[in-house]
Structure 1
Amino acid sequence: MNLFFEESGDFKAGTVLSQAGEAYQVELASGKRSKVKAKDVLLQFTSPDAATLLEQAKAQASEIDLEFLWEVAGQEEFGFAELGAEYFGHAPQATEAASLILALHNAPFYFYRKGRGRYKAAPETALKAALAGIEKKKQQAIVQAAYVEELKQLRLPEQFKALGLQLLFKPDKNSIEYKAMVEACSALQMNPARLMLATGGLPNAKQFHLSKFLLENFPKGVGFPATDLPVLPENLPVADVQAFSIDDVTTTEIDDAFSITTIDENTVKVGIHIAAPALGIRPGDALDQIARHRMSTVYMPGDKITMLPDALVDIYTLGEGQTRPAVSLYVTLNTQEWQILATETKIEAVPMSANLRHNDLDALVTEENLANDAGEYPHKADLALLWKWVQVLEAGRMAKRESFGLKPEQTNRVDFNFYVEDDVVSIVRRKRGAPLDKIVAELMILANSTWGKLLHDHGIPGIYRAQGGGSGGWAAKMQVRMVTHAAPHQGLGVDQYAWSTSPLRRYTDLVNQWQIIACVQHGVTAALAAPFKPKDADLFAIVSSFDAAYAAYGDFQTNMERYWCLRWLAQEGLRQVDAVVLKDEVLRLLEIPLIIRLPGMPQIARGAQVRLEILRWDELDLSIEARLLEMLTTVTDEDLEDVAEEDLEDAGAVIDVGATETGTETEVGLEAEETNPSDVDIELQVSSSVATVEDEANTSSN
């Protein structure tokens, strides 16, 4: 005797070897033996043999007309034997019964299972919907297969163009386009981004990096909503000065300027003027919400995403020939001893006589020319006086820094400015510590420190940068952190440091400007009038949000600078380049700030210059491979000093990118504030965890 039975959702047939009560010992065609319960048995038959029955039943099941079978079944529940008699017109043979069971079981859209061997026909509406779904899937499968073939031929299907970059970054994983892309990637052994690049769905690697950043940080786009703009206040006193700014040629958000007024032969009043958007933007209004959402201007070589709408920036930027609102710090100075006699903060309108540009003056305003009174350029006497004073300011900070137990700061590093036009990049070297840089840096640090003390003295909180005095090991203690109370910044050598000099570009500075204005306007009652009170939870939230946003923006800029470094290699057609050894296997090219790791490189002293052969690079994953050709120079003291600022002792100072690394900033890196001359480059240099003046002050002039 043979049995046709169900086991674990599958139908099998075998020969009975023995029976014990309600159980059978069955031998399958494969020779395997199985214990079958009587309740699982659907058919008992003597012929044909078990293997033949299964083979014939499967063949017949495929020939059964399911629509006719569904019509015959009616709407009542039935057993397969009952339906078999109706369908075949006679009591079904074993093979026919088995084929019917297989057909019923394999057509769940037509028949609902109600028990072992029992079924019920699906309602007509449900069946039609199910069949329509099946047909749709069949058609989709055909379309998907066509997409796959096109992609495999490295052609982008027309329908993919409308999806843009959504397929790469925020795909609908149930869509046939996404499934086709995954299937094609698997066939071609290629990742989705590289496939889109090869098919033209991605115009270039730059668009990939930019789009990824925008979708993560600006999912609604970088445009600004329509917002009413403030009007300039008309009741501000006009300062009796002729102020000038110092910026790169690309700078549009000019938020700091300077002036000098002679009082007598040995006394001058130096004005540090900061654009005052806080007079027109109020906490909680629409413009504030825009600035708070963005937290900062985003910089990248060749472009930027501003924190505030251009129309608003145009109102408050300190443009040449305009008179604009400013929060001014006046420092009365003895020019014999370079002593600060008094400081005063005013809210006023400041006439701008000039916007000086690094591109025009860097070659003229040199230490040598300043020392010899050589060259002709605007505000020459003012710059000469400021240059003498800022050297004294720097010396005082360095003494304070050393009193904290830190080494003297070195300023002979080389910065790199990126300029991009029509996708052609130029990377310009310029030595840090140049007179114009140092003038801006020292005066911004003085303003931030002075206004930080002003907030503290009035008992109102601000957003400060602090370094040193933390808990944990030395590295933890020296990390730069944001706090809402006055605390020393040991790296800069100041007792407090509150970001206040870039309110057009950084939300923290806008917040601090509101607090500073409260101090100026309300004096001893400032604590009652200031927008943010001590231990204000909203202020803590701003600090947290700013840290997160600024870190993301910094990482993006680093990636884009690395991308443009690789583009520069392709543009210049270079295969052999010179590099300086930073540490162990990590090198930096001399002409551009591209960091390369060479695993297995022989041990070479830090500061040594070597020649590399560039083997290949990838603009998509930002990796680069090179090999060492020869050593060019031995290490000099100057080399070691230059590399000291590019210190890589902290493991986190280098980012792994494939088999290579790219330089980033440690905590210090996000300190870039006042002196970087380019609107498109808050350079995130590789450095130690101890902040330098340019690190803390190198973006305000943007």
Structure 2
Amino acid sequence: MNLFFEESGEFKAGAVLAQQGEAFQVELATGKRTKVKSRDVLLQFTAPEPAQLMQDAKTVAEEIDLDFLWEVAGQDEFGFNELGAEYFGHEPRPHEAAGLLLRLHGAPVYFYRKGRGRYKAAPEESLKAALAGIEKKKQQALVQAQYVDELKAGRLPESFRPIAVQLLFRPDKNSIEYKALEAAANEMQTTPQRVMLAAGGIASPRQLHMAKFLQEYFPKGTGFPALSVPQPPALTEAPVRAFSIDDVTTTEIDDAFSVTTLEDGKVRVGIHIAAPGLAIRRGDAADAVARQRLSTVYMPGDKITMLPDALVDAYTLGEGRSCPALSLYATLDTADWRVLATETRAELVPIAANLRHNDLDQLVTEESLADGSGEYPHKADIAVLWQWAQVLEKGRMEKRAAFGLKPEQTNRVDFNFYVEDDVVSIVRRKRGAPLDKIVAELMIFANSSWGKLMHDCGVPGIYRAQGASGGGWGARMQVRMLTHAAPHQGLGVDQYAWSTSPLRRYTDLVNQWQILACAQNGVTAPLVAPFKPKDADLFAIVSAFDAAYAAYADFQSGMERFWCLRWLTQENAHFVEAVVLKEEILRLVDIPLVIRLPGMQQLPRGTQVRLELIRWDEVDLNVEARLVEVVNAQAGTADVADEAEPIDDEIATTDAETDAEAGAEAGGQAAGTEANVEGSAESVQQ
């Protein structure tokens, strides 16, 4: 006797060897033996042989027309043998019954299973819907296969064009376009990004990096809503001729300076900061835009501003006009450059000139300042500021020493990026030049002085602090953002509140509101300041700014790395000089490209080497290199002491806190950022 039975969801046939009660010992065609319970037996037969039955049953199943079978079945539940008699017109033979069962079981769209060997035909409407779905999937599979073929051939399917970026970074994983892109990438053994680049869905690696960042942080685009430019209140014009010092590409000019000689021989220095806070109010439309972005995003050759161009144009300290400004005046005794008094007030400041580093750096040197040589605008004023800046720096270094820290490194090298028509220029320049130092020291003085003003008035602000806060050395020296005054040991000041860049950093705009309240209301400022003590919203701003600023800095570093690789291509630079930063980390001499060389021999920090660059990739931003020779194993560390740069190329090395705080290694990035540099324990230890 033979049995046709179900086991673990499969139909099998075998010869009975023995029976014990409700169980059979069965031998399959393969020779395997199994125990079958009587409830699992569907047919008992003597002929044909089990193997032949299975073969014949499959043939019968393939010949059965499902649509006809569904019509024959009716709407009542049935057993397969019952249906077999009606379908075949006679009592089905074993292989026919088995074939019918295989067909019923293999068509769940047509027949619902109700028990072992029992089924019920699907309702007509359900069947039509299911069949339509199957047909749709078949058509989609054909379309998907066509998409895959086109992508593999380097052609972009038309339906991909409007969603190319979305497919890479915010895809609907159920869409046939996404499935086709994944399938093509798998078959080509590459990544979806490279498939899209090859097919023209993304124009270039540069656009790929931009698109990824924008999808995450600007999913609605970088445009601004319609916004009227708020106007400041009536202001008195200051009797000064101020000037700014910036890179040639700067458009958001936040700071300017003036020098006035008083009748008693003393000097009054004015530090003038653009004052959008006079017109923008907490909670208004312009504030909502600024708070959403939190900072201008900088990258070589481009930027995404925090505020609309029209608003920036209205408040930037542009040459040849009187601009709303928040001014900090310091009266100095030129005998020893002591600060005798300070005063803060809002006013209109005439801007006589926008000086540019690119024009003056070669003229304004320590030597020319010492001997009075050279001719350039505001020469006498710059000489005064240079004298005071040196005194300010000396005072900060003494304060650092009092905190137990070593002096700052002043021999670092900076790199400025300039991009025009997709061609990059990377200009190498040393930090600590006189104009750098002037701007740096005066900005630190302003941020520290205004931080003290807010503290003295009992008004909260957004401070940056570095120093003892529990934990190990590294934890203590991390820069923290607080809403109360605390020392910044790395800078050598008792308090430090970012206040000098309100056109491009939201923290500075918030602090400007608070400083204005202090300047205009004195001890009653806590009653009228936009943010009151322990305002939960202020803590929320600090948290959001920290996260956004770090993300923007990472993006800028990535784009600077991209342009470094593009520079290698432009220069066909396959053999380059590099210096050892530490262990396997090196930085190229001519550009701020930091690379890792696994397995490199141990060399002292500062050793100069020659590398062969084998290949580099603008998509992954990777570089493959090998060590060719050690040029100078006794090199000094002046060039590599600090590998850090400011958050934006536009302000280069003139941003105050950047210039003074820069010090840590960039940790593999093309350039450091103000954010990670400022908080590095390494920079302090040096």
Is the TM-score greater than 0.5?
yes
Correspondence list, 1:337-348, <5 A = 337-348=336-347
Correspondence list, 1:83-94, <5 A = 83-94=83-94
Report if the CA contact (8 A) 1:668-1:687 is conserved.
Answer: no
Correspondence list, 1:56-135, <5 A = 56-135=56-135
Report if the CA contact (8 A) 1:668-1:691 is conserved.
Answer: no
Post-superposition offset of 1:152:
2.3
* Partner AA of 2:637 in structure 1: L
Report if the CA contact (8 A) 1:645-1:687 is conserved.
Answer: no
Is the partner of 1:321 in helix, strand or coil?
coil
Correspondence list, 1:228-247, <5 A = 228-233=228-233, 235-247=234-246
Post-superposition offset of 1:155:
2.7
Structure 1 CA distance, aligned partners of 2:677 and 2:608?
28
Look up the match of 2:266: 267
Post-superposition offset of 1:310:
0.8
Report if the CA contact (8 A) 1:479-1:690 is conserved.
Answer: no
Post-superposition offset of 1:624:
0.5
* Partner AA of 1:80 in structure 2: F
Post-superposition offset of 1:227:
2.2
Correspondence list, 1:12-23, <5 A = 12-23=12-23
Is the partner of 1:387 in helix, strand or coil?
helix
Look up the match of 1:675: none
CA-to-partner distance for each residue in 1:289-317, whole Å, 9 max, x for gaps?
11111111001000001111111111111
Post-superposition offset of 1:665:
4.0
150-159 vs 460-469, which moves further? 150-159
Look up the match of 2:578: 579
Report if the CA contact (8 A) 1:249-1:359 is conserved.
Answer: yes
In structure 2, relative to structure 1, the CA distance for the partners of 1:653 and 1:261 (3 Å cut) is closer
Look up the match of 1:570: 569
Q: Tell me whether 1:642 sits opposite 2:639 in the alignment.
A: yes
Q: Tell me whether 1:527 sits opposite 2:521 in the alignment.
A: no
Look up the match of 1:605: 604
CA-to-partner distance for each residue in 1:72-105, whole Å, 9 max, x for gaps?
1111111111211111111111111111111111
Report if the CA contact (8 A) 1:156-1:200 is conserved.
Answer: yes
* Partner AA of 2:132 in structure 1: A
Report if the CA contact (8 A) 1:169-1:215 is conserved.
Answer: yes
Look up the match of 1:540: 539
Post-superposition offset of 1:267:
0.6
Q: Tell me whether 1:496 sits opposite 2:495 in the alignment.
A: yes
Look up the match of 2:201: 201
Correspondence list, 1:477-488, <5 A = 477-488=476-487
* Partner AA of 1:12 in structure 2: K
Report if the CA contact (8 A) 2:643-2:666 is conserved.
Answer: no
Report if the CA contact (8 A) 1:393-1:442 is conserved.
Answer: yes
Report if the CA contact (8 A) 2:417-2:427 is conserved.
Answer: yes
Correspondence list, 1:119-268, <5 A = 119-233=119-233, 235-264=234-263, 266-268=265-267
Report if the CA contact (8 A) 1:480-1:667 is conserved.
Answer: no
Post-superposition offset of 1:666:
7.8
* Partner AA of 2:254 in structure 1: D
- The root-mean-square deviation of aligned C-alpha atoms, in Å, is 1.8
Report if the CA contact (8 A) 1:16-1:27 is conserved.
Answer: yes
CA-to-partner distance for each residue in 1:104-127, whole Å, 9 max, x for gaps?
111111111111111111111111
Structure 2 CA distance, aligned partners of 1:91 and 1:548?
77
TM-score by length of 2: 0.94
Post-superposition offset of 1:279:
1.4
Structure 2 CA distance, aligned partners of 1:370 and 1:687?
34
Is the partner of 1:494 in helix, strand or coil?
coil
Structure 2 CA distance, aligned partners of 1:345 and 1:162?
53
Count of matched residue positions in the alignment of Structure 1 and Structure 2: 667
Report if the CA contact (8 A) 1:606-1:635 is conserved.
Answer: no
Structure 2 CA distance, aligned partners of 1:32 and 1:15?
11
Look up the match of 1:681: none
Look up the match of 2:4: 4
Post-superposition offset of 1:52:
0.9
Look up the match of 2:647: none
* Partner AA of 1:640 in structure 2: T
Report if the CA contact (8 A) 2:611-2:626 is conserved.
Answer: yes
* Partner AA of 1:451 in structure 2: W
* Partner AA of 1:107 in structure 2: A
* Partner AA of 1:559 in structure 2: G
Post-superposition offset of 1:604:
2.1
Post-superposition offset of 1:400:
0.7
Structure 2 CA distance, aligned partners of 1:47 and 1:35?
21
CA-to-partner distance for each residue in 1:498-530, whole Å, 9 max, x for gaps?
000001100110111111111112211111111
Post-superposition offset of 1:667:
7.8
Is the partner of 2:442 in helix, strand or coil?
helix
Post-superposition offset of 1:198:
2.2
Structure 2 CA distance, aligned partners of 1:14 and 1:264?
118
Post-superposition offset of 1:654:
5.6
Structure 2 CA distance, aligned partners of 1:667 and 1:376?
33
Structure 1 CA distance, aligned partners of 2:130 and 2:196?
35
In structure 2, relative to structure 1, the CA distance for the partners of 1:43 and 1:120 (3 Å cut) is same
Look up the match of 1:552: 551
Look up the match of 2:435: 436
Structure 2 CA distance, aligned partners of 1:165 and 1:213?
11
Report if the CA contact (8 A) 2:164-2:196 is conserved.
Answer: no
Name stretches of at least 5 consecutive residues in structure 1 with no aligned partner: 656-660, 673-685, 693-702
Q: Percent identity?
A: 71
Structure 2 CA distance, aligned partners of 1:601 and 1:571?
27
Post-superposition offset of 1:663:
4.9
Post-superposition offset of 1:337:
1.3
Q: Tell me whether 1:53 sits opposite 2:36 in the alignment.
A: no
362-371 vs 224-233, which moves further? 224-233
Report if the CA contact (8 A) 2:477-2:681 is conserved.
Answer: no
Structure 1 CA distance, aligned partners of 2:681 and 2:358?
26
Look up the match of 1:688: 682
* Partner AA of 2:131 in structure 1: L
Q: Tell me whether 1:669 sits opposite 2:676 in the alignment.
A: yes
Structure 1 CA distance, aligned partners of 2:471 and 2:631?
42
Report if the CA contact (8 A) 1:156-1:199 is conserved.
Answer: yes
Name stretches of at least 5 consecutive residues in structure 2 with no aligned partner: 645-663
Report if the CA contact (8 A) 2:320-2:352 is conserved.
Answer: yes
CA-to-partner distance for each residue in 1:589-647, whole Å, 9 max, x for gaps?
111001122222222222222211111111111111111222223435xx223322249
* Partner AA of 1:291 in structure 2: A
Structure 2 CA distance, aligned partners of 1:312 and 1:218?
20
CA-to-partner distance for each residue in 1:648-672, whole Å, 9 max, x for gaps?
xxxx9565xxxxx435648853549
